[in-house]
């Protein structure tokens, strides 16, 4: 193979430098060693926040780039720096296109070796039809134009995490008029087109700035392995550039992009640590298995697609509800947390015991149980486990711990109302709180510290007991911590 897989592209970046410039000598080295022969690219969505970064990277890499735009004025404003450079200006042109005009799309992709699609419905534009028109039908029309061109050899599609396996936090993003559903439509159309493809699924790009790379290293994983995480648009543009320059390594792959925090020990001397930053992820991409071309009859990918085992919804439901499934504890824990808070609140307001509340509000309680149960089972049946949750403080370990505590507390308080002293749960909580307050008031400072230490130790032990089985089930997976060699 003409390309050495251990090569790395590095660029010198001052700490306060813009992140979209690369060393021309480094890029030339990569291109000479690449097994591809890409010379020209068409970028759709080129003036968007991700697309414009991709255009700059490709122009800096020495490629001829044609930008698909809707406004020539916006094109000039966006790429004023490139157009002002005598050397770079000759490598950048534009084509006025419309997603509803097939002829304009055909003109755009004409003569290009590779098409990069960065199309996406703008989040700040409230139009319920945008995801269907742009992420779905518009991208599909662009794929068809690339297929019909006869020159396009590689199609790179930038979509989003969550298009392959639907769950939290992807469900939140999908509230934006079904955007993930339409992105998935485009992915499936590309897979069936027969074009050589690379699908890039980045994590959240809204919060990270262009300097995000200084504390977060890009991690590239295979299809349907990541369910949360963030990555900057600049880092996405670096990965797209790798795919353009190294088509033989990247074709027919689905790449999911997130980041991991750089070891704080490596950030002590910030100026020295980031004087040279490795932008290359080619080693990570090389490790991801190619899906092949499922449209070639008789190929391994064709047989895999044709005879792939897909469990029925009933099979998935039985597995989730089984002894080793996660559904029973998840559902019971969530119901217990709701019941504990609602029950104590109602007792505080009306003085009704828990049993009387159930009798008086059985219909509402039944609806709540049905809603929580169905809302919990749908992701589980679709293969999305609770352990995939990772969004700020909303983590699976925290939910499991809170659910277990709520189940124990609710059972204890409910039984206490029926047996023994038969006092209201809220009175038991108040009495316990008063006792703890009284004990704390009578203790000296050393005793309080000792009690706090015991409490923290118990909490730590419980957390480890909750986390250990999850780690065993995961098989020691580092969750994206693998370094590129």
Domain CATH for 238? 3.40.50.720
352 and 283 in a single domain? The answer is no
240 and 118 in a single domain? The answer is yes
Tell me whether residue 459 is in a domain: no
Tell me whether residue 463 is in a domain: no
249 and 378 in a single domain? The answer is no
d(CA 329, CA 332): 5
351 and 403 in a single domain? The answer is yes
268 and 367 in a single domain? The answer is no
Which one-letter DSSP state was computed for residue 163?
Answer: S
| Greatest mean pLDDT among 59-73, 305-319, 335-349, 471-485 | 59-73
Residue with tokens 């109302």: 417
Taking the whole predicted model, whether its pTM rises above 0.85 is answered as no
Task: Tell me the average pLDDT across 134-162.
Answer: 94
Tell me whether residue 294 is in a domain: yes
Tell me whether residue 289 is in a domain: yes
Of the ranges 19-23, 183-187, 279-283, 439-443, which one carries the lowest mean pLDDT score?
19-23
Q: Is residue 210 predicted with pLDDT exceeding 50? A: yes
Tell me whether residue 137 is in a domain: yes
Tell me whether residue 384 is in a domain: yes
Q: Is residue 61 predicted with pLDDT exceeding 60? A: yes
Tokens of 84: 């002002």
Residue with tokens 């780039």: 65
pLDDT of residue 173: 53
CB within 8 A of 428, min separation 6: which ones? 413, 416
72 and 127 in a single domain? The answer is yes
d(CA 124, CA 127): 9
SS3 50: coil
Other Cβ atoms less than 10 A from the Cβ of 374: the count is 10
pLDDT of residue 275: 47
Cα–Cα nearest to 34, from 5, 3, 4, 69: 3
Tokens of 73: 């004025």
End-of-domain residue from the set 307, 322, 349: 307
CA torsion, ordered 225, 230, 235, 238, to nearest 10 deg: 20
Beta strands in 179-322 (DSSP E): 196-202, 216-221, 253-261, 276-278
Other Cβ atoms less than 10 A from the Cβ of 110: the count is 17
End-of-domain residue from the set 258, 277, 307: 307
CA torsion, ordered 389, 392, 398, 402, to nearest 10 deg: -110
Q: Is residue 304 predicted with pLDDT exceeding 90? A: no
330 and 286 in a single domain? The answer is no
| Greatest mean pLDDT among 316-325, 369-378, 392-401 | 369-378
196-202 and 154-158 as β-strands: parallel, antiparallel, unpaired? Answer: parallel
Task: Tell me the average pLDDT across 332-352.
Answer: 88
Q: Is residue 427 predicted with pLDDT exceeding 90? A: no
Mean pLDDT, the chain, as a whole number?
78
Tell me whether residue 405 is in a domain: yes
Which one-letter DSSP state was computed for residue 289?
Answer: P
d(CA 413, CA 415): 5
300 and 341 in a single domain? The answer is no
Cα–Cα nearest to 425, from 414, 437, 434, 441: 414
pLDDT band at 453 (very low <50, low <70, confident <90, very high): confident
Other Cβ atoms less than 10 A from the Cβ of 296: the count is 11
pLDDT band at 105 (very low <50, low <70, confident <90, very high): very high
Inter-CA distances, 380 with 226, 407, 476, Å? 16, 21, 22
218 and 334 in a single domain? The answer is no
10-12 and 276-278 as β-strands: parallel, antiparallel, unpaired? Answer: antiparallel
End-of-domain residue from the set 284, 307, 330: 307
DSSP string, 423-456: --HHHHHHHHHHHHHHHHHHS-HHHHHHHHHHHH
328 and 302 in a single domain? The answer is no
CB within 8 A of 291, min separation 6: which ones? 223, 252, 253, 254, 301
pLDDT band at 485 (very low <50, low <70, confident <90, very high): very low
Task: Tell me the average pLDDT across 273-285.
Answer: 69
86 and 163 in a single domain? The answer is yes
Q: Is 224 left (phi over 0), alpha (psi -120 to 50) or beta?
A: left
d(CA 17, CA 43): 25
Cα–Cα nearest to 398, from 334, 347, 350: 334
Query: pLDDT per residue over 374-398, tens digit each?
Result: 887 777 666 666 665 555 566 677 7
The number of distinct structural domains making up the chain is 2
Tell me whether residue 464 is in a domain: no
CA angle (83, 84, 88) in 5-degree steps: 55
Tokens of 264: 């704080």
273 and 375 in a single domain? The answer is no
d(CA 69, CA 280): 29
DSSP string, 65-118: EEEEES-HHHHHHHTHHHHT-TTTGGGEEEEE--TT-HHHHHHHHTT-SEEEE-
Q: Which range marks the domain in which residue 282 is found?
A: 10-307
């Amino acid at each position: 193979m003409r390309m050495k897989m251990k090569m790395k592209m590095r660029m010198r970046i001052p700490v306060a430098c813009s992140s979209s410039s690369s060393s021309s000598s480094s890029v030339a080295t990569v291109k000479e060693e690449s097994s591809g022969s890409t010379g020209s690219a068409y970028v759709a969505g080129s003036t968007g926040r991700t697309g414009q970064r991709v255009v700059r990277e490709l122009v800096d890499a020495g490629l001829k780039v044609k930008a698909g735009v809707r406004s020539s004025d916006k094109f000039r404003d966006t790429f004023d720096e490139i157009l002002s450079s005598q050397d770079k200006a000759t490598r950048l042109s534009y084509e006025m296109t419309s997603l509803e005009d097939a002829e304009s799309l055909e003109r755009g992709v004409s003569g290009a070796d590779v098409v990069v699609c960065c199309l996406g419905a703008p989040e700040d534009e409230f139009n319920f039809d945008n995801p269907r028109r742009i992420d779905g039908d518009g991208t599909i029309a662009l794929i068809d134009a690339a297929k019909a061109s006869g020159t396009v050899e590689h199609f790179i599609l930038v979509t989003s995490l969550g298009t392959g396996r639907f769950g939290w936090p992807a469900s939140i993003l999908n509230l934006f008029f079904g955007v993930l559903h339409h992105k998935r439509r485009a992915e499936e159309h590309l897979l069936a087109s027969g074009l050589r493809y690379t699908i890039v699924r980045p994590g959240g790009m809204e919060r990270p700035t262009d300097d995000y790379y200084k504390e977060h290293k890009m991690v590239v994983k295979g299809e349907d392995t990541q369910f949360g995480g963030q990555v900057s648009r600049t880092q996405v543009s670096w990965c797209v550039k790798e795919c353009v320059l190294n088509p033989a390594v990247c074709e027919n792959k689905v790449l999911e992009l997130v980041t991991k925090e750089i070891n704080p020990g490596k950030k002590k001397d910030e100026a020295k640590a980031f004087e040279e930053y490795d932008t290359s992820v080619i080693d990570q991409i090389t490790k991801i298995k190619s899906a092949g071309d499922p449209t070639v009859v008789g190929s391994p990918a064709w047989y895999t697609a044709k005879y792939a085992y897909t469990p029925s919804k009933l099979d998935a439901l039985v597995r989730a509800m089984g002894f080793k499934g996660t559904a029973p504890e998840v559902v019971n824990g969530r119901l217990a947390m709701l019941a504990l808070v609602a029950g104590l609140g109602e007792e505080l307001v009306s003085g009704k015991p828990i049993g009387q509340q159930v009798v008086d509000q059985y219909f509402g309680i039944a609806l709540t149980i049905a809603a929580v149960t169905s809302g919990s089972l749908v992701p589980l049946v679709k293969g999305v486990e609770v352990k995939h949750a990772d969004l700020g403080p909303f983590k699976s370990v925290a939910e499991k711990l809170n659910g277990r505590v709520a189940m124990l507390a609710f059972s204890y308080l409910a039984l206490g109302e029926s047996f023994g002293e038969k006092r209201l749960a809220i009175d038991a909580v108040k009495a316990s709180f008063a006792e703890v307050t009284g004990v704390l008031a009578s203790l000296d400072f050393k005793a309080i510290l000792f009690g706090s230490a015991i409490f923290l130790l118990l909490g730590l032990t419980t957390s480890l007991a909750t986390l250990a089985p999850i780690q065993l089930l995961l098989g020691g997976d580092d969750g994206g911590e693998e370094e590129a060699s």
